[in-house]
């Protein structure tokens, strides 16, 4: 692939989030260097490169090298960057990189599921979520022990909660 700015072979692939849309850019090593996108931490990038007047939904102007992996759609952070700096890009990253992060939590904390305060506005949703998790666990057990009658009941109960949630929204 050819560099977007010159004739050379592109080796640096950037993804830019503009107005919520991903735009790709291919640069050769020299042009990338000139644009300052080879900084290994990537932290100075957000402020410096590809700036111009374009501002994405979250204001992030993001550049991602191909080897960094799939970026978070909200903020453009990648799991590779997390491995470098130990911090995430935004709250949505926890869902995007959930499995990879989940594996690291075990040694870090007493548990892997939150027990504690819940924002008041989310109390009901939180209780419903806990109930759903519980029912799904039981459903799995029922299926495993071939207790299909119970499983059917549980499935209906889960569906009912899910439909109620959907109509409330």
Of positions 40, 52, 67, 114, contacts other proteins by CB under 8 A = 114
Query: Is 70 near other proteins (CB under 8 A)?
Result: no
Nearer to other proteins, 117 or 146 (CB): 117
3-class DSSP state of 96: helix
**Which DSSP string corresponds to 22-38?**
EEEEEE-HHHHHHHT--
Q: Which long-range contacts (CB under 8 A, 24 or more apart) does 53-58 make?
A: 54/16, 54/18, 54/19, 55/18, 56/16, 56/17, 56/18, 56/19, 56/20, 57/17, 57/19, 57/20, 58/17, 58/90
Q: How far is the CB of 8 from other proteins (least distance, A)?
A: 29
Of positions 7, 110, 146, 169, contacts other proteins by CB under 8 A = 110
Of positions 21, 121, 144, 149, contacts other proteins by CB under 8 A = 121
Residues that bind other proteins (CB under 8 A): 43, 46-47, 55, 58-61, 74-75, 77, 85-92, 94-95, 101, 104-105, 108-122, 125-126, 129-130
């Amino acid at each position: 692939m050819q560099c977007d700015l010159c004739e050379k072979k592109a080796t640096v692939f950037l993804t830019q989030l503009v107005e919520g849309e991903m735009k790709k850019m291919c640069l050769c090593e020299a042009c990338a260097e000139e644009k300052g996108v080879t900084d290994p931490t990537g932290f100075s990038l957000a402020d410096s490169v590809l700036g111009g007047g374009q501002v994405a939904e979250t204001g992030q102007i993001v550049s991602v090298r191909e080897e960094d992996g799939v970026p978070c759609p909200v903020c453009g952070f990648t799991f590779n960057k997390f491995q470098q700096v130990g911090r995430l890009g935004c709250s949505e990253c926890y869902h995007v990189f959930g499995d990879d992060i989940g594996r690291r939590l075990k040694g870090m904390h007493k548990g892997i599921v939150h027990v504690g305060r819940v924002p008041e506005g989310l109390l009901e949703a939180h209780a419903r979520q806990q109930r759903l998790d519980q029912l799904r666990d039981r459903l799995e057990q029922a299926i495993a022990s071939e207790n299909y009658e119970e499983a059917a009941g549980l499935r209906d109960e889960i569906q009912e909660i899910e439909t109620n949630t959907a109509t409330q929204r």
